[in-house]
């Protein structure tokens, strides 16, 4: 089990934003299947706790090494962006593999998040390999 301090990061905003869909939440933990890895993660007040991957992967995957305040300052040019920044403070861009991103985009056409998740789970069961963590499967 690993833990790292985080700043300017909101795990819920990031994982529930529609960037990725192979996630489930159970008992406060997010179970994430991405980049051929299966891990769980949860956020405390100023840290994240995770299992199944190393700290380097968490930092990379969630762009935790990016200077978010600087980025937000650069893009905050009108009232709409300002409202989005305020409402979704801490949302980070996920480093998703291009193939996974493409398939997710194709499945998202004229759909909603629950349906996209269902389509991707079906594709993964048919063509992917089974990954287990703490009796959870995605």
Per residue in 22-76, pLDDT (tens digit) is 899 999 999 999 998 999 999 998 999 999 999 999 999 999 999 999 999 999 9
pLDDT of residue 111: 74
Confidence of residue 137 (pLDDT cuts 50, 70, 90): low
pLDDT of residue 133: 78
pLDDT of residue 94: 96
Higher pLDDT, 106 or 70: 70
Q: Is the pLDDT of residue 91 over 70?
A: yes
Query: Which residues is 43 bridged to in the sheet?
Result: 48
Domains in the chain, ordered, with CATH?
2-137 (3.30.310.260)
Question: How far apart (Å, rounded) are the C-alpha atoms in residues 107 and 118?
Answer: 10
Is 62 in contact with 9 (CB distance < 8 Å)?
Answer: yes
Higher pLDDT, 125 or 50: 50
Confidence of residue 123 (pLDDT cuts 50, 70, 90): confident
With residues binned 3-state (H G I as helix, E B as strand, rest as coil), the percentages for the chain, rounded to 5, are 40, 20, 40
Where does residue 130 fall: left (phi above 0), alpha (psi -120 to 50 degrees), or beta otherwise?
Answer: beta
């Amino acid at each position: 089990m690993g833990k790292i301090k985080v700043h300017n990061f909101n795990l819920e905003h990031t994982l529930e934003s529609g960037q990725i869909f192979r996630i489930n939440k159970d008992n406060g933990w997010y179970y994430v299947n991405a980049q051929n890895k299966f891990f769980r993660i949860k956020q405390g007040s100023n840290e994240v706790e995770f299992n199944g991957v190393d700290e380097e992967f968490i930092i990379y995957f969630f762009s935790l090494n990016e200077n978010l305040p600087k980025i937000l300052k650069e893009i905050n040019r009108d009232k709409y962006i300002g409202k989005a920044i305020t409402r979704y403070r801490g949302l980070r861009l996920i480093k998703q593999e291009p193939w996974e991103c493409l398939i997710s985009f194709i499945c998202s056409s004229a759909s909603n998040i629950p349906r996209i998740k269902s389509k991707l789970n079906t594709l993964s069961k048919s063509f992917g390999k089974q990954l287990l963590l703490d009796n959870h499967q995605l």
